[in-house]
Structures are given as C-alpha cells and as structure tokens.
Structure 1
Amino acid sequence: MVKGNASLRNKNNYISVSPALNKIKHLAPMLDAQINVVGRFKRCIGFQDNLGQAVLAWGRKPSSKVAERYAKRQKLPLLRIEDAFLRSVELGAHCPPLGIVADTQGIYYDARSASELEALILQPLNEEQQQRADTIQKRWCELKLSKYNLHRSHNVDYGRPYVLLVDQTAGDASINYGLASAESFQEMLSVAKQRFPEHLLVIKTHPDVIAGLKQGHFNIDQLSNQSNVRLEGRPLHTPDIIEGADAVFCVTSQVGFEALLWGKPVYTFGMPFYAGWGLTNDTLKAPSRRNPVFLQQLLYAALVRYARYWHPEKQAACQVEELMEWVGQQRIWRQRFPEKLLAERFPRWKREYLKTFFSGTQLQFMPRGKALPENEPCVVWGRQDKQSRLCVEDGFIRSVGLGADLTAPKSWVIDDMGMYYDATRPSRLEAILNDYELSDDELSRAEALVGRLVKEQVSKYNVGDNSWKRPKTAKVVILVPGQVESDASIQYGSPNLKQNVELLAQVRMQNPDAHIVYKPHPDVVAGLRNPDSNESEQVQFCDEIVIRDNMASLLEKLAPGDEVHTMTSLTGFEALLRGIQVCCYGQPFYSGWGLTQDLYPNSRRQKKRSLYELVAATLIIYPRYLSSKSGCLTSVEQALNEIAEERLEQKNETYTAQLSRRLKRMILRLKRF
C-alpha cells in the first residue's frame, strides 16, 4: 500500500517498465503489491494494462523518463522508488536494497517540488511514537549504522579537533535536485575554513569513489599541501568519523541526516530532505513548505513512515528496528578476522562459501602449485601446524546432506589456534571453554538450543530414516557410531584406538552383556569415503549394524541407562544433549569438562563446565553460520530454522525433484576442483 496518497490506498497493482526494477525480486512484497512487467515490445504497440494503478520509476534518474512517458500515455500516477536511508550492508552495485522509499508526489531529494516525506515530517508524534523515535536514534548510534555498512569500524584519531566535510559523487542526482551544484562544494570548504579556522578539515569521499566506481568534487593535488585539510580516502565507516567531529558540513549528502542523529551541528549548502526544518544551519532559504519541527519527527518520518524494509532471512517485509539489528549483527561478524588474508587454492565449489564465511575480509586465493608464505596470515582447510594459519572445517550442525556430496554448508568453524578435533594442542574452542565467561543471555540461548536440537532431532548431516527399534529384551544398549578412519579427528584426537573394529572390540570386552548397536559413518555407507579396516570382523563384536537411520532418531530411542561409546565422534556430543551417558576412548572436544567418562583424559582440560556452557561455547560462540536465504552470515537459531525447512522440502519433494537435485550434485562434483 502506498502511504500518503488516498487515491492509491488499498490498491496493489503496479506496472514496471524498468529492467533494473524487475531484478529486485523482493520489490513486490516490500510494496505489498503485484507488479506487472511491460516490456519494450508491449510499450511500442501501445499495450494497455487496465489493472495497473500506478507506474513504477526509479527516482529521477534518466531511466525514469521511460516510466514517466508510459504513465502519461496510460493516464496513470507515477510511483517513484529509491533507496531508503538504511539500505544494505554492501554497496548498491553488489546488493539489492533492503530498504526502499516509495513516493507518489515526488522524491525526497528533489527540493523543487513537494514529496510525501515532507508531509510526513510535519505530522506530530504521540508519546509512543516519540519514545520509539528516541529508541531508534539511540540504537542507530550504538550499532553505528549508515546507509551502507560494508566498512569495518576503526578508531579515528587525527590528533586534533576536526570538522567533517562530506564529498559526493559527481553527477549525483541529489545535488542538482537539492538546489546545489559543483560550486557548492567549494563554498562549503570556504565557509568551513572561516567558521573553524583552528580545526582540521577532514574531507570524506563517498564509498563509491573509494571503490573506484565514481568521481568526487575535490582536487586531491590542490588540497594535499594544505596543512589544515585532510582528504580522507580510506574505506572508513562514516559513523566513526561523525562521532569525533565537532561539526559536519554537507551539500545534500545523507551523512548530514546521520550527523543529526549523533547530535552534531550540521551545515548544509544545498537543500537536502533534512534541511529547512530548523535543525540545521542552512546556506539556502528553505521552501515555504518546510517549517520547524523536532528531530524525532524528522527521524520517525524518514525511517519509519516513509520507508519499507525487507528482512533477508525472514524473506518478508519488516520494521526498521528488525533490519537495524540484522545489519548491526552483520557488522559485528564482519570485523572478527583481518581485513586481508591469503587463502590456499580451495576447490572452486568451496570458494564462494569461504568468501561469505569471511565476509568483511578480502581473500586472495593462491595460484595452483604456489606454496603459502611461511609467516603471513593464511586461510587453509583443516588442521595446520603453523600458528599463522586460520584453519577452516565443517561445523557441528553442517547441512541437510553429506559434506562429501558437496552439499552447501550451514556452518564452518574458523580456528586461529588449532582445530577442535586436534587434542594434541590447544584450539580456540578449548580456550573458550577454559577461559571465557559466558553471559546469562548466551546460557539462555544454549538452553533453548538444547530443547530445539532434541525436539527437532537435528544432527550434523540430518540424513537417514527412522526405522530402528530398540530391542525390548535388552538390559543395556550401547550405541557405537562409526567414523571415517582416515579422518583427522581420529589421527589427532584418539591417541590409542584408530579403527572402528578396535573400538568395537574394546566396548565388547568391557561390556560383555550389553546389546551393542553399530552405525557406520554415512559417508562410508554412501561410498564417498574409504571403507573401514577389517570391516568383516566388526560383526563379531556387535549385535546389530544399523545403516540407514538418522543418528538423532537413534539417540531418541535409547532408554535411560543406555550409553554411547565413541572415539571422537560428534554423536557423543549429540548424546550429551539428550542426557545420555557417553564414554570416550579418545579426546573429543566435548570430553574433559566433567560431562563424559574419559578413558584417556586430556590434562589441559581442567575446568568443569555445565551442559549449557558446553553448548554455548560449541554452537554459539565458536562456529560461523551461513543463511541460504540471505546469502550472509547468520545465527545458529536461523540456521536451524532453515534446516527444518529444507528437511521438510526434501521429505515432500517429487521423484522428479529428487532426480534433479542428484543431477545437480553430480555436475557439481565434476566441477569440484
């Protein structure tokens, strides 16, 4: 529904003649509308669409002229779309907008005519709306949000007081439509020198200029020799510079609006949407349409009433606060690792995932056959001895499908100390469990996670059926999960036993009367990894071999008093979640914390941890999760949401869909390198 225009209320059919608009897949639900696309051929033959209530145009860009002409011929209103003031994490060239504005009167940056935003700014707020505006303003600053949010935070210190001058891209439509020109930037510089003669003048260029996509308005050569001027061309996050500035000078840039949210004095040299309301120091006279208002009115109108938002994980329209939190969390995750890293030559199918798991870090992949530098930070797959390596491995809740079958990962772990399955030396997970003080919120999340994992029967790969039944005559059932014997977790995490048959023999020797159930590893069953050593001998040490069942459903069917015996399998951790006694013949990451029976304890692990502390460290703090919906980093809770949906989809998919999925996997495996 288009707000602010009674003639279009409760109407939900729009016409698009723009190829660019048609690429924004979530535009229709953001507008709560159906969008009918009219191509060039239909326009040329005079196609009539009686169902459309308005024609969409992107702002006042030259491409919008096509939409304007079509709307005029069809005698329809024009609905102008533009990026909202909270747009996305990445720049526009790399990411569709997560926030847009829609205006039937004009567009917010065109001061020559009225816009819906101007009318919304003049609307008074009730007490609840004022409180909401105050909360948004506070949280905006706490999260350090901006229109774009790709740059990580830095401590900006110029060693002296400074004011901020904001450059813009040459040809930016908001300059001309904001009653300004290229000369306005020189006037801005001149006035800043006069008003703040003792301050450093920091000129911040636009992110698109930093990215080399566009040009700015200041001559670097002419200003580089002026001691009181600093051209700031680093890819800094704009709020970091706003925060320390004594004043902010703008022509029409949105940075002036953000500076108001930070409580900074703002000087304008055009007529941006936030000028002329008595909140800024303006060079130009405000249009008569604009009268003094409170900052809360401007904020509420711009961020709440005027804009519409899309939540990339929920795949649904959302409120500004929800998108703010999502973007803010992305910024936190993106700052965890160094800004630039070398990466070994990963298989092609893993590279795009690696880039996402390292969002915020620029990865440079090494050429084939070239060795990694000895002392430079590098990203590698699996365990490495060198301390300069960041080691990557599958996480504990990985996917719906096998990793060896190239199924897209939901989680990977990135360890800067070692690797969780390498018990010969410390890992980041071990350090967290030894030293980290967990918060009440993290423990509360962990408690909820345990409930979900058990109720939804989630395991690492989430494959298999539910056919096994516990023998009624058995006194004690011991479940023994098989492992891939060549796996590094056995080599570096099990100092004595190395083969599944050795484990089974030990379990039988110590428990002669138990009913022993052996479940081979699913990768081995699928033929994706080498078979077990002495596989034929396994049957003499167990009562049952279960092939197809889902591990989570097996664990669910164990009775009180039943046990899980393992070398280092993740099944032991999954058993702990269900209150099952676990006996470890190796030193898996979950052993040594007082929760398992350990035949060969690890001397470095001295601290006793509760189950919820173990879960918080293992599933919340240590891994990284990837959302298939947003294509961005996400939380463990969202990863579980998507796993549940994917399992249901696979359960209900047709035979044709199954064949298609398998064919795609086969093609991907052929291209894996």
Structure 2
Amino acid sequence: MIGVYSGGIWKIPHLNQLIGRPCCKLSVRSAVPGDVVAIAVWGMKENTALPAAKARAANVPLLRLEDGFIRSSGLGVNGHPPLSMVVDDLGIYYDASHPSRLEKLIQQEVHENACSQQAQSAINVIVAGDLSKYNHAQPFSAASHQQPFVLVVDQTHGDVSITLGGASVKSFHDMLAAACEENPNDEIWVKTHPDVLSGKKQGHFLGNFSEPRIRLFSQDVSPQSLLRYAKRVYTVSSQYGIEALMAGKTVTCFGLPWYAGWGLTDDRHPLAESLASRRGHATLLQLVGAALLRYCHYINPTTRKRGTLFDVLQTLQLQRQHMISCSGHLWAPGLTLWKRALMQTFLNTPQNRVSFNKQSPTATACVVWGVNGEARFNQAAHVQNIPIWRMEDGFLRSSGLGSDLLMPLSLVLDKTGIYYDARRASDLETLLNHSTLCAVEHARALALQQTLVNSKLSKYNLGKQWRCPSAATGKRILLVPGQVENDASIATGTVGIQSNLALLRTVRERNPDAFIIYKPHPDVLAGNRPGHIDASEMARLSDCVAMDADIIDCIISCDELHTMTSLSGFEALMHGKTVHCYGLPFYAGWGLTQDEYVCPRRNRKLALADLIYQTLIVYPIYIHPQEKRVIPVEAAAQWLMAQTRPGKKTHRITRWWRKATNLYRVILN
C-alpha cells in the first residue's frame, strides 16, 4: 500500500493504476499504518518536507511523483488529468544535484540496450504525429517565414526544474546573449511557455529586446511543428530540449536538465563537466528508451487500466488529428434535428466553433451531409469563398440501422470528395493511392481484420443467425446483396447497373448454374428505404432469399460476392472471398476485386492490409456513444461486440417509438 498525504495527489484519476500499486489516504495527525510500504509526494515542493519526515520516522521509502513526459491532450493547469506519471524512489529527474532513478535507468539501458527498437518507434510517432507533453496546440504554419530561425526557449518563472537544474534568472539572459552572439545573421525567436500563454504563470522574457532580429514568439503552437523550421535550439532545462534532440536539432543547455551530460547536447553550465563524468555517455535511443519506456508509468486512455506508452501515443494522436481536422468555425446548415445532434457530437472540439444557423458569415468551412447536402449548399459556400466538407456514416456504424436513429460509432469527414463518389477523388482515395504501411501499421491492420472476422462485425450488426441451405452443397455459391436504390452510392458509384433487379438478373445470366443467394438490404426490409424486388422475381432469379439474415453469416457461406457498390464487398474481402464489382465502390480498382469498370485515378495495386488500415483506422472518426470522446477503431469494435444484436423484425409502431427514443437521447446528451 502506498500512503498519500496530499489531497491533490489523492484526487488524481486512476492513481492506483498510474503508480502501479494500491494507495490509501493518510493523515498527518496519525501514525503511518503498518501496511504502508512507501509514501508518495509530488516532486520537490516545499510541502513535501512533512511527508518526507513521516516516511523517515516509519522507515519506509519516499516516492516522488511528477507528470510524465507525454502527459495529456491539454494543459494540466487547465484541469486535464495525466495519462502518464513518473515514480522515483531515489530523487526526481530534474534535480541534478544527485542521481535520480531516471539517471540510473539510462545507465542501465546503456548496458542492456533493451528498448532501442521501441524507442525508435516512439520517436517516429512523436515527431511525425506532432506530439508532445501537452497536445492542445495547433501546428505552426511557416507560410510567411521562409528562413530558418534560432529558437530560444523560455520557461515559467520559479519553476523548480530551473533551480534544481543549477540555473537562475541570469541563465536565461546569458542564454539569449549567447544565441545572438553565436548566430549573428539569424533571426532569434524566444518561445513563450504554454502556461504563460494561458495566463496561469509568468515567464522570463517580456519582449523588450535590444535587437530587432529578436522576436518574442507568443503563439501557442505544437513543439514538433515549430522545431521543423528551427536551425538550432537554446534552452535552460525545458522539455523542448529532448524534443529538439528527437527532431534532430543541435541543443545548447544553460542548465543541467536530465538529458544533458550524456554527450548529446552542447552544455554551457559551469558544472557540466562534473555532471558528464557522473552520467557517462548514452545515445538518443537509450535516453528515450529509459525515459519514456522504463521511467514513466502509463494508463490506457480507453480501458482506464495500466497501459503503455504506445496506448497513450495512439490516443493522443487520434485526439490531435481530430482537433486539427475540425479546427475553425464550422457551419453546418440545413440539417434535421437528428443530423444536427450527430454533427455536434462528432465535430465539436474545445478549440473550434460549430454553428447550425441559416447563415454564418464568419465560417471558415461549410460542413454538409453527403453529396445531397453539397448540391444544396455549394453555391452558398462559393459565395462566402469557403470550402465544403462532407460527412457520412462510417463503416463500423452501430448495432442497428441508421434509419432507426441509432447513434453512430463512426462518421467520416472528407474535405476532397466522399468515398462512395467515384466521379472524383476523395480523401480516402488519396490515402489509398499513397499508402505505405510500416511493419507496425501492417500488423495493426491484420490484427484488426482478425478481430472483425472472428467477431463477425459489420456496419449495422443486425440480423438473425443464418446457414446456407443444403441444396447449395457442391455448387458455386454467389451472394448478391441488395442496396437502397436511392442511395447516393448508386447515383455516384455506378455506371450501367443501378437497381437490385438489374444486378440480380445480370448475375443470373452470367452464372446460370451457380447457387445464388439474394440478401435484401435491412433498411429496405424495415420499410425505411426503397429497393424492393417482387417476390416472384426474387424466386425466379435466385435460389435462396436470406431475408433477415446476418450479412456476415451470408458472406461466410458464399464463394463469391457480386455487388454494385455495397460495403458488404469490402467486408467479404476481409473474409477472404472473391468480390465482383459492377460499379466503382471505394475498394474497387486496387487489384483486390474483379472489376467491371476501371477508375484511372486508382493507379496502384494494394495489399488488403493497406485497404483495411486506411479505410478503417485512418479515414473515419470514432466517438464513444456514451462518453462522447474520440476512440480508436479497436475500442469501437470492442464496444460493438458488447452490444446485443437485434434479430427480430419489429412492428412499424415499435420502430417509430425507437426512433423517437434515440433522438431524445442523442439531443439531451
């Protein structure tokens, strides 16, 4: 049991998981209980003296806690709880006066070199994903700044990492003077700390500089996006230093931070030589491996249990991508109450604004529902000179029909076109045309495929269990899935065949001896959408009609799937089936399907892993239906697997009641 005196520490969500042991709240007026094996305090604050004395008296270790180096989506001073924490039994990483547990772990990593591969993967994700300790800031845009600059990093006044790193206020002024002297022909940008920009703390530089080439950079931008344009970096003890090393920059230190003294930085502190003799030499991978993979403790943001660095990086990258993708003043006009509630849930971020008025002259983008919404508001967006973004349901949507107003797990936001419109490019098509998966991404795609196949998940996840009739034994079994005939994917993704009846006739004519299963679309069966084929025609052209069947059961039973543009073709590919396309769905044209037509824009042969990764992992936005937060596709799949699939066909009055109930829930939440 870990004893905690601090009320602030005790309020940290999931404290037990972050520390790695059960915790209990202690009172300074009582003796330390016998089952307490250590006492935890926050860093080197002044209020840690009494708990430290209590720990000495009870002869138990003192654990010093601090935020981890990859902490959260937003600032801690703004109330964002930590996703990582360091637990140090020797000191704390920013106290250079004696070795911390981190220093020992780095030296251990130098000898063992156990984390280099994972460390390189982490660096790749952090740099490419523009991730940092806090991840709320927009990326830096260098449109008006063509020349590289020298970056001088300010810190908050009175930060304990400054004093315990052997530095002072003078260190900051010496640092700026050195940057100017050593880079006489470059602009010098002094970067203000995010906590100063938020109004919570004060910095060391106010902007009254003697030289015009010195600029106080007071924009709150992400570190990696700014470092891409920096020529070199000067710091006292800021985390910017290790982030700059990961970005491949030269780093000069005027304090004694934890990443100095290992031969990787240009150290200017008077005690730098003695620190280096104590620490020794280490590579960047060894520093990162020890600090991020061995020193920090993490919580899985999805399960809220003990997690890994990559659990946190994946979630932060998702949240960051969503924030950036949905930035600006988004105008979503002409929506039903239901669609408005959906868009509010999927588009809203702390940094943007979403409005649903008839007019919005200050909007930066117009968000519409599919191609029909685009046709309706294209002129209005053109007049305002703003782009149109299209939204649609994702590919793992819900446990029930969208037309029954069930809250979706996923939507897609496409700024180029939309995935089902084969007449033009889309964001998904661009992703597929440029897909180059690394080993980790490839493995993730295959693992997701296995999960979906094993769990039999589909877009709607409804229908009764179904088995192929014995009459099909020994025959080639073809599955023909029906579609909603007024669906936009029919209008924009087909060339010749545009109805269920025409498709079924064509498949029968070309395959007279095959056993053909026709699967009506669930929206058509529910009476919500058009696409019905007369019963006599279904009986004449098919050998079996799977009325209320689970689409995945049908796919498992067939040898081939024949479709116009149905998503079931993509699902059949994941189940290893041959797919014939009579239109141009998003998954056609990549060498994975038998295609009736050619799309000249799709100019690559892809592996199935590429299609799965870009379509299911990168392209959609997944939002937890209850918690209203961005989640990865794996968490969405787990949520769907936990739901009960409706199997019976419901009465029309029951469906309308269900629609009203779902609308009420979404609007209130």
In the superposition, the TM-score normalised over structure 2's length comes to: 0.74
Structure 1 residues 515-554: aligned runs within 5 Å: 517-525=517-525, 529-530=528-529, 544-554=544-554
Q: CA RMSD in A?
A: 5.0
Is the CA contact (8 Å cut-off) linking 1:156 and 1:241 kept in structure 2? no
- CA distance, structure 2, for counterparts of residue 399 and residue 84 of structure 1: 36
**Aligned residue for 2:176?**
189
Change (3 A) 1:134 1:263: farther
- CA distance, structure 1, for counterparts of residue 521 and residue 356 of structure 2: 34
Is the CA contact (8 Å cut-off) linking 1:481 and 1:569 kept in structure 2? yes
**Aligned residue for 1:353?**
346
**Aligned residue for 2:369?**
381
- 2:608 pairs with 1:612: yes
**Aligned residue for 2:567?**
570
Is the CA contact (8 Å cut-off) linking 1:341 and 1:377 kept in structure 2? yes
**AA aligned opposite 2:481:** P
Q: Indicate which of 192, 202, 211 corresponds to 1:215.
A: 202
**AA aligned opposite 2:37:** Q
Unaligned runs of 5+ in 2: 334-338, 647-656
- Pick which of 61-70 and 572-581 moved more: 61-70
**Aligned residue for 2:69?**
85
**Aligned residue for 2:483?**
483
| Distance apart, 1:233 and its partner CA | 1.7
Is the CA contact (8 Å cut-off) linking 2:345 and 2:628 kept in structure 1? no
- Pick which of 282-291 and 479-488 moved more: 282-291
Structure 1 residues 128-147: aligned runs within 5 Å: 128=113, 135=120, 139=124, 143=128, 146-147=132-133
**Aligned residue for 2:391?**
392
Change (3 A) 1:534 1:371: farther
**Aligned residue for 1:102?**
87
- CA distance, structure 1, for counterparts of residue 419 and residue 193 of structure 2: 42
Is the CA contact (8 Å cut-off) linking 1:333 and 1:633 kept in structure 2? no
- CA distance, structure 2, for counterparts of residue 130 and residue 472 of structure 1: 58
Is the CA contact (8 Å cut-off) linking 1:576 and 1:611 kept in structure 2? no
Is the CA contact (8 Å cut-off) linking 1:372 and 1:378 kept in structure 2? no
Is the CA contact (8 Å cut-off) linking 2:407 and 2:666 kept in structure 1? no
Change (3 A) 1:148 1:157: farther
**Aligned residue for 2:253?**
267
- CA distance, structure 1, for counterparts of residue 598 and residue 151 of structure 2: 56
- CA distance, structure 1, for counterparts of residue 520 and residue 342 of structure 2: 27
Is the CA contact (8 Å cut-off) linking 1:149 and 1:327 kept in structure 2? no
- 2:657 pairs with 1:669: no
- Pick which of 581-590 and 329-338 moved more: 329-338
- CA distance, structure 1, for counterparts of residue 645 and residue 13 of structure 2: 25
| Distance apart, 1:555 and its partner CA | 1.2
- CA distance, structure 2, for counterparts of residue 82 and residue 353 of structure 1: 33
Is the CA contact (8 Å cut-off) linking 2:149 and 2:231 kept in structure 1? yes
**Which SS does the other structure have where 2:470 is aligned?**
coil
- CA distance, structure 1, for counterparts of residue 426 and residue 229 of structure 2: 38
| Distance apart, 1:519 and its partner CA | 3.1
Change (3 A) 1:622 1:418: farther
- CA distance, structure 1, for counterparts of residue 157 and residue 251 of structure 2: 25
| Distance apart, 1:230 and its partner CA | 1.0
- Pick which of 305-314 and 324-333 moved more: 324-333
**Aligned residue for 1:29?**
17
**Which SS does the other structure have where 1:393 is aligned?**
strand
Is the CA contact (8 Å cut-off) linking 2:72 and 2:316 kept in structure 1? no
**Aligned residue for 1:255?**
240
- Pick which of 512-521 and 412-421 moved more: 512-521
Structure 1 residues 138-287: aligned runs within 5 Å: 139=124, 143=128, 146-150=132-136, 151-152=138-139, 162-178=149-165, 180-182=167-169, 184-194=171-181, 196-220=183-207, 222-223=208-209, 226-242=211-227, 245=230, 248-259=233-244, 262=248, 264-269=250-255, 271-274=256-259, 280-283=266-269, 285=271
**Aligned residue for 1:623?**
619
Q: Indicate which of 353, 362, 370 corresponds to 1:364.
A: 353
| Distance apart, 1:552 and its partner CA | 0.9
- Pick which of 347-356 and 128-137 moved more: 128-137
Change (3 A) 1:622 1:160: closer
* Identity across matched positions, percent: 34
| Distance apart, 1:166 and its partner CA | 1.4
- Pick which of 335-344 and 82-91 moved more: 335-344
**Which SS does the other structure have where 2:391 is aligned?**
strand
| Distance apart, 1:83 and its partner CA | 1.2
- CA distance, structure 1, for counterparts of residue 368 and residue 640 of structure 2: 30
- Pick which of 579-588 and 203-212 moved more: 579-588
Is the CA contact (8 Å cut-off) linking 1:85 and 1:99 kept in structure 2? yes
Is the CA contact (8 Å cut-off) linking 1:400 and 1:643 kept in structure 2? no
- CA distance, structure 2, for counterparts of residue 623 and residue 516 of structure 1: 33
Change (3 A) 1:90 1:625: same
**Aligned residue for 1:656?**
none
| Distance apart, 1:626 and its partner CA | 3.4
**Aligned residue for 1:4?**
none
Change (3 A) 1:501 1:352: same
Change (3 A) 1:666 1:52: farther
Residue-pair matches, total: 628
In the superposition, the TM-score normalised over structure 1's length comes to: 0.74
- CA distance, structure 2, for counterparts of residue 48 and residue 152 of structure 1: 48
Change (3 A) 1:606 1:649: closer
**AA aligned opposite 1:421:** Y
Q: Indicate which of 92, 95, 111 corresponds to 1:126.
A: 111
**Which SS does the other structure have where 2:110 is aligned?**
coil
- CA distance, structure 2, for counterparts of residue 135 and residue 253 of structure 1: 22
Unaligned runs of 5+ in 1: 1-12, 654-662
**AA aligned opposite 2:221:** L
Is the CA contact (8 Å cut-off) linking 2:235 and 2:253 kept in structure 1? yes
Structure 1 residues 10-49: aligned runs within 5 Å: 13-18=1-6, 20-22=8-10, 24-37=12-25, 43=27, 46=30, 49=33
**Which SS does the other structure have where 2:471 is aligned?**
coil
| Distance apart, 1:67 and its partner CA | 5.8
- CA distance, structure 2, for counterparts of residue 302 and residue 135 of structure 1: 13
Is the CA contact (8 Å cut-off) linking 2:5 and 2:28 kept in structure 1? no
**AA aligned opposite 1:556:** I
Change (3 A) 1:648 1:37: farther
| Distance apart, 1:650 and its partner CA | 3.7
- CA distance, structure 2, for counterparts of residue 611 and residue 295 of structure 1: 40
**Which SS does the other structure have where 1:461 is aligned?**
coil
| Distance apart, 1:266 and its partner CA | 1.6
Change (3 A) 1:644 1:194: closer
- Pick which of 548-557 and 340-349 moved more: 340-349
Change (3 A) 1:300 1:418: closer
**Aligned residue for 1:3?**
none
**Aligned residue for 1:416?**
415
| Distance apart, 1:348 and its partner CA | 2.9
Change (3 A) 1:489 1:172: same
**Which SS does the other structure have where 1:672 is aligned?**
helix
| Distance apart, 1:253 and its partner CA | 2.0
- 2:297 pairs with 1:308: yes
Is the CA contact (8 Å cut-off) linking 1:85 and 1:147 kept in structure 2? yes
Is the CA contact (8 Å cut-off) linking 1:89 and 1:149 kept in structure 2? yes
| Distance apart, 1:573 and its partner CA | 3.2
| Distance apart, 1:306 and its partner CA | 3.1
